[in-house]
């Protein structure tokens, strides 16, 4: 089966610019996660969707970050405006059952 | 607070030597623990979970509730084991994972 797809793979922007990331989960996976992974740290959950509803977005900086999963399949994560500290790898993962999460390749964001 | 600690950022061992990657957790209930691995230029993937009690690629991990640990072990390291290893804890009904900072394992020839 096809894995989790993410695009773009790399993005370089200047601070205060906007950026959007796209994720296509594995077909049939109801749960979708967005993580932020800063260099030298483990992934940090930003938001979890169950179908098109938000399960948890408590760690999403809502003043600048937004995410949606309108039809319960693809998802987009947006940052507006970006700050230097947003430089990280943004990981998307999906799961069918409650255990294994399947990860995409990630998007490496550099904010200058 | 729920926390996962991997005390070693880097672990370097020779091929054929035993490997132990340490993971300690902080959680008062009954956790589910996982080990995920990321090989060079590959995506993060599940290696094993404590509920399965299985051996994957020669690796095993035993949950020690008394010591709140879930160390990953392999008796004889192979060069292809070189990777980044993350320990993760699932501690609520939403099955969200709390991650350690990871340990980079290097197997020297």
Distance CA(B109)–CA(B99), nearest Å, equals 30
What confidence score (pLDDT) does residue A1 get?
Answer: 58
- Tens of pLDDT, residues B14-38: 999 999 999 999 988 788 899 999 9
Query: What phi and psi, each to the nearest 5 degrees, are found at residue A53?
Result: -105, 150
Tokens 């700050």 map to which residue? A83
Q: Quickly list DSSP for B28-61.
A: SS--EEEEEEE-TTS--EEEEETTT---BTTBEE
pLDDT (tens digit per residue) in A48-79: 999 889 999 999 999 999 999 988 899 999 99
Does residue B46 contact residue B65 with C-beta atoms inside 8 Å?
no
B41-63 pLDDT, tens digit each: 999 999 998 877 788 899 999 89
User: What residues of B are in contact with residue A105 (Cβ under 8 Å)?
Assistant: 43
pLDDT of residue B34: 94
Partner residue opposite B101 with nearest CB, options A41, A91, A98: A41
Name residues 5-64 of chain B within 8 A of A (Cβ): 9, 32, 43-46, 49, 51
Give B-chain residues touching A49 at CB under 8 angstroms.
none
CA B42 – CA A71 distance, rounded (Å): 29
pLDDT-based confidence at residue A98 (cuts at 50, 70, 90): low
**Quick check: helix, strand or coil at residue A105?**
coil
Checking phi first, is residue B53 left (phi over 0); if not, alpha (psi -120 to 50) or beta?
Answer: left
Q: Does B85 touch chain A (CB under 8 A)?
A: no
- 3-class DSSP state for residue A38? coil
- Whether A56 and B94 lie within 8 Å, measured CB to CB: yes
Going by C-beta distance under 8 Å and a sequence separation of 6 or more, which residues neighbour residue A44?
A: A35, A36, A37, A38, A59, B99
The pLDDT of residue A69: 94
The mean pLDDT of chain B is: 92
3-state DSSP call for residue A35?
Answer: strand
- What the block records as the tokens of A27 is 């077909």
Minimal CA separation from A99 to chain B, in Å: 7
pLDDT at A44: 94
Q: Tokens 């989790």 sit at which residue?
A: A4
Per the structure block, which two tokens stand in for B1?
A: 């607070």
């Amino acid at each position: 089966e096809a894995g989790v797809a993410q695009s773009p793979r790399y993005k370089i922007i200047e601070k205060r610019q906007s950026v959007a990331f796209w994720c296509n989960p594995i077909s049939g996976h109801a749960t979708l996660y967005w993580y932020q992974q800063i260099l030298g740290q483990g992934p940090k959950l930003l938001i979890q969707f169950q179908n098109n509803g938000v399960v948890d977005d408590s760690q999403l900086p809502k003043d600048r970050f937004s995410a949606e999963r309108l039809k319960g399949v693809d998802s987009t994560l947006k940052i507006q405006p970006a700050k230097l500290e947003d430089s990280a790898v943004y990981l998307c993962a999906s799961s069918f059952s409650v255990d294994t999460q399947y990860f995409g390749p990630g998007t490496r964001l550099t904010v200058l | 607070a729920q926390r996962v600690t991997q005390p070693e950022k880097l672990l370097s061992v020779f091929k054929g030597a035993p490997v132990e990657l340490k993971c300690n957790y902080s959680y008062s209930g009954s956790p589910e623990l996982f080990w995920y691995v990321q090989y060079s230029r590959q995506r993060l993937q599940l290696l094993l979970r404590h509920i399965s009690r299985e051996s994957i690629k020669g690796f095993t991990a035993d949950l020690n509730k008394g010591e709140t640990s879930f160390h990953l072990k392999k008796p004889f390291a192979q060069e292809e084991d070189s990777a980044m290893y993350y320990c993760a804890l699932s501690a609520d009904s939403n099955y969200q994972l709390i991650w350690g900072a990871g340990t980079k394992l290097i197997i020297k020839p």
